[in-house]
Amino acid sequence: MSRILAIAEQRDGALKRISQEVVTAARQVADGIGGEVDVVVVGAAGIGAAAKALGNYGADRVLAVEHEALGAYSPESYTKAIADQVQAGDYFAVLFPATAVGRDLAPRVAARLDVPLASEATALEIEGEELVIRRPVYAGKAFVDLTLDAAPRIVSVRANIFRAHESPREATVETVAAEPQPSKARVREVHAGAGDKPDVAEATVVVAGGRGLKDPENWKILEDLADALGDGVALGASRAVVDAGWRPHAEQVGQTGKVVSPQLYFAVALSGAIQHLAGMRTATTIVAVNKDPDAPIFKVADYGIVGDAFEVIPRLADEIRNARG
Amino acid sequence: MNTVVCIKRVPDSEARIKVAPDGQSIDPTGLKFIVSPYDEFAVEAALRLKEQSGGGETVALTLGDAAAGEQVRSVLAMGADRAIRLDGEGSPDGLSVARALASELRELGPDLILFGMKAMDDDQQQVGPMVAELLGLPCVTVVAELEAEDGKVLCHREIEGGTEVVELELPAVVTVTKGPYEPRYPSLKGIMAAKKKPLEEKPAEVPASRIKVRRYSEPPARPEGKIVGEGPDAVPELVRLLRDEAKVL
């Protein structure tokens, strides 16, 4: 029983970036036990061919559950498709991405197979013959190291923690027949939002603002900074501005919002309440801009500028545009 | 519509979390406890659905020791009709908790089962969908707003790049996030009424945890940062540091 299963995620037929991270994590565990990495991807026809590229990150075999009715996530169909593959495979561990879909799917698969689930892992280590999982609790105010007394060990891994690492090999691709399941939940309407910014929990760069910005209109300076930083930058917000109705809750970072670990986090005109700090302190590089030199945010920031955001941020956007050429 | 809202007692979000000296638990000394905030959103959603559909019963269900009675009373004061406390310790294993809740929910047989989308202590975000799976019910997660529509509920939820409305046949499980409505504060009248509302207590049947805790630890301290300077004149140096030292540009 030395195989690891990584669950890949696709959207509109393209693999999501976090799939590379899940395979990277699976490769690391497999190398620790001398095992191999399988990938399961569920989607419309052709998704297996797209997932072959996960060989670059250490996948040995891709199992593609393909069906025209499975292009979009359906809890019932995806739970069955993945639970069937897990049961067929005698796996040591199964790794899910801790995304919106993964958080819906992993608990169902675990319950169906009657095994526990460790959510949102930030470290995986093989000690002896056991997999030791580290995960944050209280939104990162503490961590717990745990093991799972079950087989397979089901774990979801947090975005941006297991940075994609190349370990190239030629992955084989096998297509598996799917049986779409009926659902008692039906999407009736979809409303496109204002932008197509990535989820703040999955973005590699986050620009977050607080009450010091004084008015929701002033978010345009953060949007401009986000544009200057390039594609895939998400906006974040403090609890205070979400409670004030300035920004949607989906952007809230902290214990009552999302916990994020981007490579670069800008905290603009937000003081850094303890529950906000809990949600972003695992970012690789933190930049704080605040008028108050005593703001708690400066205690976790790698780089700080004491000053007025309305003067500093537009200048920062200009300089970053120049630096990026 | 008969609704059961599952709630959990958790430390306040402003709490400083300290690990006990033996690393086996969180030190509860001095912690203030509250109803997990997402569970409060779920209670508010349940009360609004009841008001909208003009009938039915709202039941609060919790798994916890006697101290959790305080949180149950506060949900009764918000307007729940009655409450059930499964007396026992919680478990780090969400599937054990889900099994304990599911056996009670199977007996209650409500139209709708609501959870907060995650508990603000373990942050596992798993018990709601696990209960749905154990009971063979459909489930929609991270729902901001609910509307009743004969035999169904409409779930408004955020998705990447927009929002969607999901039509869900009852009975069903829904997990709730912050929506357009603030949870109501219990009125004095509500608090007085809560004292007379039924609170049933029965032993919890929680299967042994298969999540084995090795130890808790506090997060590693971040290295000392630096103040680059004051005002916009410090920006060029900041950009240089981000590019050459942190290598993130």
| pLDDT surpasses 90 at B53 | no
What is the model's pLDDT at position A273?
Answer: 95
| pLDDT surpasses 80 at A105 | yes
What is the model's pLDDT at position A195?
Answer: 59
What is the model's pLDDT at position A210?
Answer: 98
Q: What is the pTM of this model?
A: 0.94
| Any domain includes A260 | yes
B5 within 8 A of B59, measured Cβ to Cβ: yes
Of A177, A192, A224, the residue at which a domain comes to its end is A177
- What are the start and end residues of each CATH 3.40.50.620 domain in chain B? 3-203
Q: Which residue has the higher pLDDT, A168 or A196?
A: A168
| pLDDT surpasses 60 at B129 | yes
Q: Between helices A100-113 and B94-108, what is the axis angle to 10°? A: 80
| pLDDT surpasses 70 at B2 | yes
- Looking at the structure, do residues A70 and A214 belong to the same domain, yes or no? no
Q: What are φ and ψ of residue A107, in 5° steps?
A: -65, -35
Q: Which fold has domain B3-203?
A: Rossmann fold (3.40.50)
What is the model's pLDDT at position B6?
Answer: 98
Asked if the Cβ–Cβ distance from B126 to A106 is below 8 Å, we say yes
Closest CA to A29 of A37, A21, A17: A37
| pLDDT surpasses 80 at A202 | yes
| pLDDT surpasses 90 at A58 | yes
A–B interface: beta-carbon pairs under 8 A: 274
C-alpha of A282 from chain center: 13
Which 61-80 residues of chain B touch chain A by CB within 8 A?
none
From the list B134, B172, B210, the residue facing A111 with the nearest CB is: B134
Which range among A85-99, B83-97, B154-168 shows the weakest confidence by mean pLDDT? B154-168
Q: Looking at residue A235, which CATH number applies to its domain? A: 3.40.50.1220
- Looking at the structure, do residues A212 and A165 belong to the same domain, yes or no? no
The average confidence (pLDDT) of chain A is 95
Percent of residues, chain B, with pLDDT higher than 90 = 90
| pLDDT surpasses 90 at A196 | no
From the list B212, B216, B249, the residue facing A142 with the nearest CB is: B216
Alpha helices (runs of H) in chain A, residue ranges in sequence order: 18-33, 47-51, 75-89, 100-113, 219-229, 239-243, 274-280, 297-300, 309-324
| Structural domain range at position A211 | 205-324
Give ∠ CA A52-A102-A68 in degrees, rounded to 5: 55
- Mean pLDDT value of segment A146-150: 98
- Mean pLDDT value of segment B147-173: 92
Q: Looking at residue A61, which CATH number applies to its domain? A: 3.40.50.620
- Looking at the structure, do residues A126 and A225 belong to the same domain, yes or no? no
How confident is residue B150, by pLDDT bands cut at 50, 70 and 90?
confident
Place of tokens 């947090």: A158
Asked if the Cβ–Cβ distance from A312 to B231 is below 8 Å, we say yes
From the list A146, A190, A319, the residue facing B162 with the nearest CB is: A190
ipTM: 0.95
Tell me the chain A residues in contact with residue B211 when contact means C-beta distances shorter than 8 Å: 116, 118, 146-149
| Any domain includes A187 | no
The count of domains in chain A is 2
The average confidence (pLDDT) of chain B is 95
| Any domain includes A197 | no
What is the model's pLDDT at position B223?
Answer: 86
What is the model's pLDDT at position B54?
Answer: 84
How confident is residue A1, by pLDDT bands cut at 50, 70 and 90?
low
| pLDDT surpasses 70 at B70 | yes
Closest Cα in chain A, distance from residue B2 (Å) = 19
What six digits make up the tokens of A270? Answer: 């937000």
| pLDDT surpasses 90 at B72 | yes
- What tens digit of pLDDT does each residue of A206-227 get? 999 999 999 999 999 999 999 9
What is the model's pLDDT at position A199?
Answer: 86
What is the model's pLDDT at position A252?
Answer: 95
Alpha helices (runs of H) in A201-308, residue ranges in sequence order: 219-229, 239-243, 274-280, 297-300
| pLDDT surpasses 60 at A144 | yes
What is the model's pLDDT at position B225?
Answer: 87
Closest CA to B198 of B73, B102, B99: B73
How confident is residue B247, by pLDDT bands cut at 50, 70 and 90?
very high
Which 186-245 residues of chain B touch chain A by CB within 8 A?
209-219, 222-223, 225-232, 234-236, 238-239, 241-243
| Any domain includes A200 | no
- Looking at the structure, do residues A215 and A151 belong to the same domain, yes or no? no
| pLDDT surpasses 60 at A194 | no
- B245: DSSP letter: I
Of A177, A197, A232, the residue at which a domain comes to its end is A177
Disruptive mutation site among B9, B117, B124 for chain A (greatest number of A CBs within 10 Å): B124
| pLDDT surpasses 60 at A284 | yes
- Looking at the structure, do residues A99 and A230 belong to the same domain, yes or no? no
- Looking at the structure, do residues A265 and A169 belong to the same domain, yes or no? no
- Looking at the structure, do residues A227 and A127 belong to the same domain, yes or no? no
